[in-house]
Structure 1
Amino acid sequence: MCGGSCACAHHKVGPLLIALIGLLFLLKTLGVVGAATVDLAWPVALIVIGLMKSGMCKCCK
């Protein structure tokens, strides 16, 4: 576990993707983006997060 000392960019991507998923749902609720866009984008974002989490973090060893 890295704690707060690791400055690797890949540690910031997961939380950023989660925030973007929330933004996507907000934009859908406001009618800015269509349901088809949300239906496609959020599973893809979750897959990306899962793949990132499954990879070994070499910087924290």
Structure 2
Amino acid sequence: MKNWLRVYKYTEVERTTYDRYECTAEHQIYPYIGNKPVGDITSADIKKLLTKHMNAGYAFTTSKKRVS
């Protein structure tokens, strides 16, 4: 995912947006999904991540923003 961010997003979005994406990935996605290539992430991985965020007290909409 780090490579995907650098290759596909770095030149496509504003620097502050990229920084936010990178921070979100570092703190809220990588700890749950690990080093999987983007193409190997399954819907079960996403569901597990959403469930963990919601169980931590975040609203569904907030949790969804973190994984999209």
* Structure with the larger helix share: 2
Rg comparison, structure with higher value: 1
Question: TM bucket by the smaller chain?
Answer: 0.3 to 0.5
TM-score after normalising by structure 2:
0.35
Q: Which structure carries more relative contact order (alpha carbon 8 Å, separation 6+)? A: 1
